């Protein structure tokens, strides 16, 4: 069984949001189109309490994009984003959420950030996504969403580590690019660790049998 993993398709990561990713909204139509090809679609949702330790505003004298030590881990500080129940944390309204069978919230513990949909950044706790996918007999996953160089990257790498054959649908991802090359470097890193980069998502369309069967 194959699954589609939608990473953080939330208002705050789209133009106008608090942590807007350039062209973030452009991935939504592709996500909607691809969902029709999959029996199993899961989504991650960045879901922070207002006092989350990744927000620069919660640290004296700190500004967004500075790097600090947060309980022993290197942490990029972010603008306040994806606060639980806020508009910014909601899925983009154009996203067809009906096909999503399960949503995995992450970043709910204020003491640690969680880029991956599988584990927090210290691999201290699981979100339950790996267990869920394995229960559903999933052996291969297709990952898309925001942001390529953070949550998408770590989700894809953990998927691969968990033993799923992992594909990145690169046209349906956009990144932060704190440094100019970060997105390209992230894609290279995923590739070098065994993730298959799908360059043309249309090769996955109209092939229901191929995608549905194991």
Of 151, 183, 187, 204, the one binding ligand VGL by CB under 6 A: 151
190 binds ligand VGL (CB under 6 A): no
How far apart CA 87 and CA 107 sit, in angstroms, is 17
| CA dist list (Å): 103 to 7, 20, 90, 117, 144 | 10, 21, 12, 10, 15
* Closest CB to Zn ion among residues 176, 204: 176
12 binds ligand VGL (CB under 6 A): no
Residue 172 interaction partner, one of Zn ion, ligand VGL, none, beta carbon < 5-8 Å per kind: none
Residue 80-119 contact track with ligand VGL, rule CB under 6 A, x = bound: -----------------------------------x----
**Which residues of this protein are in contact with Zn ion, per CB under 5 A?**
46, 107
How far apart CA 73 and CA 67 sit, in angstroms, is 10
Which has the closest alpha carbon to 18: 67, 94, 83, 111? 83
120 binds ligand VGL (CB under 6 A): no
Catalytic residue among 14, 106, 113, 149: 106
* Closest CB to Zn ion among residues 7, 41: 7
Catalytic residue among 2, 8, 14, 113: 8
E strands along 39-149, which residues? 40-46, 67-70, 73-76, 100-106, 140-146
8 binds ligand VGL (CB under 6 A): yes
Neighbour-count burial of 159, counting CB atoms closer than 10 A to its CB (0-12 exposed, 13-18 middle, 19+ buried): buried
179: annotated active-site residue? no
Cis amide leading into 145 (omega within 30): no
The CB-of-165 to ligand VGL minimum distance in angstroms stands at 23
Interface residues with ligand VGL (CB under 6 A) are 8, 13, 46, 78, 115, 146-147, 150-151
């Amino acid at each position: 069984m194959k699954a589609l993993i939608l990473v953080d398709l939330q208002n705050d990561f789209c133009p106008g949001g608090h942590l807007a990713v350039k062209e973030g909204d452009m991935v939504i139509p592709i996500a909607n189109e691809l969902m029709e090809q999959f029996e199993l679609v899961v989504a991650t949702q960045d879901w922070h309490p207002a006092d989350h330790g990744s927000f620069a505003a919660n640290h004296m004298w700190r500004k967004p994009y500075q790097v600090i030590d947060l309980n022993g881990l290197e942490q990029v500080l972010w603008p306040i984003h994806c606060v639980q129940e806020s508009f910014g944390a909601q899925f983009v309204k154009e996203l067809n959420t009906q096909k999503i069978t399960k949503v995995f919230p992450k970043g709910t513990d204020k003491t640690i950030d969680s880029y991956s949909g599988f584990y927090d950044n210290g691999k201290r706790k699981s979100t339950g996504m790996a267990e869920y996918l394995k229960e559903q007999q999933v052996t291969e996953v297709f990952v898309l969403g925001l942001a390529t160089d953070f949550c998408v990257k770590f989700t894809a790498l953990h998927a691969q580590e968990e033993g799923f054959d992992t594909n990145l649908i690169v046209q349906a991802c956009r990144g932060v690019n704190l440094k100019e090359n970060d997105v390209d470097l992230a894609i290279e890193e995923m590739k070098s660790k065994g993730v298959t980069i799908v360059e043309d998502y249309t090769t996955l369309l109209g092939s229901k049998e191929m995608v549905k069967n194991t």
